[in-house]
Structure 1
Amino acid sequence: MFLKAITHFFAKKGLASHEADTRAAISRYEREKEASEFRINERMVNFRERLQSHADKRDEDLKKYVDELNEFIAITAEMQPSIHKLYDQMFLAFDAWGKVKLTQQDLDIERSKRNLLQEEINLFKDALAALELMAQNEDKKHWHDRVESQPLGLDNKAIKKELKTVGRWQANQERELADQRKRIESAIRQNGMKLGQCRKNIKDLTDQLWPLKEELKRNRDQVRETYFGLCDHWKSAKNSVDSMYAGQCDELYYVEEVCVMKETPLKVLFSWLSSSKEEVPIKLTTPKGWGTKSELKESCDLFKADLDELFENKKKYQNELNHYSDRIKEARSTEDYSTFDQDKTHRSIAFNNKKETQDQIGIVKPKKDQLSLYLFKIRKMTGWLQDIHPQVHLNRMYNMCKEMQEEGEEMYQRSCGLKVTQPKNKGRQS
Structure 2
Amino acid sequence: MTQPLRIALAGLGTVGGGVVKLLETNRALIERRAGRPITVTAISARDRTRDRGVDLSPFEWVDDATTLAARDDVDVVVELIGGADGPALTLARSTLANGKAFVTANKAMIAHHGVELAEAAEKADAALKYEAAVAGGIPVIKGLREGAAANEIGHVYGILNGTCNYILTKMESEGLDFADVLAEAQALGYAEADPSFDIDGVDAAHKLSILASLAFGTTLDFDAVAISGIRHVIAADIAEAASLGFRVRLVGLAEANESGLFQRVHACLVPVSHPLAHVAGSLNAVVAEGNFVGRLFFEGRGAGEGPTASAVVADLIDIARGEYGPAFAMPVTSLARLAPAKAGERSGRAYLRFTVADRPGVLAEITAAMRDAGVSIESLIQRGAAADGGVLLVMVTHDCPESAVIDALDRLKGSASILGQPMLMHILDI
TM-score by length of 1: 0.15
TM-score by length of 2: 0.15
Greater fraction of residues in helix: 1
Greater fraction of residues in strand: 2
Higher Rg: 1
